[in-house]
Amino acid sequence: KEPRNCLICNVSITVMNLGIDACRACAVFYRRARQSKRKFMCKLSSCIRDGRVSDCRSCRYYRMKAVFEQANKEIKITPQGVKRRTEPEHGQSVESSSFLPSTATDASSCPSTSNDASPPNIMTPVLDRLRHGYDVMTRIRKTAELMLRPDHLGTHPSSIDTNEYPNIASTHGMKIRTRKILLSSLFDFASIAFPDFGALSNDEKKRLISGSCMRIDILESTYRAAIMYPDDTTVFTSYTTIINLDTFDMYLSECPLKVDIKEAKRVLFPNIADNARKVKRQWQRTKPTEDEFLVLLALAFWNTGEESLCRLATANREAIMSEVHSFYSKKGLTDYATRIGELYCLLSLNERIATIITEDYTVLGLMNNENEPIS
């Protein structure tokens, strides 16, 4: 990443905060200042001219406010670079049958955010491909998982279209199988959503998919769980299976070796309860729309530190964010820089939860519960 300077205090930075070139200190100050609604007064009246912005709370606050206002008025778009990456391939349809959370009232789907989807007069080729890719990925996961169910939980094939099926409690063995389904479906998602993905070697594709699988899994499952199970500890372990405090014993019961179930429960139980509630609260506060969820999905996919993939990942992330800026601007949203910052906070939280869950799987491995890799 190229080093840049904070637009407020001019210190060197390598990452954005709140969707703009701002250091973490300025971002934290601005967020707290807005929440407190305090009125600041400048005592020197020359802080900005003398380069002492960070020493004066008033100048720091209003300098940052001005940066946000300017960002809302002028967003630099690179049409040629974006056009090459965002136009659908010849003959490729971006129409979908909407497998994003639907309006069905059964347990297999959650309320639609279609009212927040892209207005018809705004061109969104990147979002269109993301939506189409996600729909295909969802159908693959749903079909394969329902066909894996035991006979006594058998589901008629028509329920794949009608969404009339119950979400069932997950087990250790079921989690391994459904994770493989997710891995497979991510290849279809990436091939449809990102034309550049097809130019990668098979080995690069595998590494990119494997590296993003946990993040995608948590992001997608949390999005649906926060809507469908807002008030308890229930989370999705796949597209059609769930786990909560009441079903945790059932999850561990299918472990292949004799282990200390009580100890495993003691170690892992708090993470399920605490993280489920914490993440759901954050998602419910932010309330990402359908389009914003798709953007988060794409950013999570291209979050790779592998040097050989960094250039491609950066190009795709820039294309995504360029369209997001244009989309917000054309919708007339006045403070979308702050909104982008909120979405990045969700991504950051998702990354932390992914790390915690990965550590949980490591703990299970040390207890001899995991004799087969999850991803």
Q: Is the pLDDT of residue 75 over 90?
A: no
**Whose CA is closest to 240, among 167, 156, 182?**
167
pLDDT band of 304, cuts 50, 70, 90 = confident
Q: Do the Cβ atoms of 125 and 87 come closer than 8 Å?
A: yes
Domain ranges in the chain?
1-74, 118-375
CA–CA distance, 129 with 139 (Å, rounded to integer): 16
Q: Higher confidence at residue 281 or residue 122?
A: 281
Cβ-based neighbour number of residue 201 at 10 Å: 9
For 118-375, which CATH class?
Answer: mainly alpha
Mean pLDDT of 43-54: 56
CA distances from residue 370 to 129, 186, 221, 353 in whole angstroms, order as listed: 36, 23, 22, 19
Tokens at residue 350, please?
């998702």
CA–CA distance, 229 with 247 (Å, rounded to integer): 15
pLDDT band of 91, cuts 50, 70, 90 = very low
Q: Chain-wide mean pLDDT for the chain? A: 76
Q: Do the Cβ atoms of 85 and 195 come closer than 8 Å?
A: yes
pLDDT band of 161, cuts 50, 70, 90 = confident
Domain 1-74 has CATH 3.30.50.10: yes
pLDDT of residue 270: 74
Pairing relationship of beta strands 241-243 and 4-5 according to DSSP bridges: unpaired
**Whose CA is closest to 61, among 20, 24, 9?**
9
Tokens at residue 303, please?
């979050």
CA–CA distance, 339 with 45 (Å, rounded to integer): 31
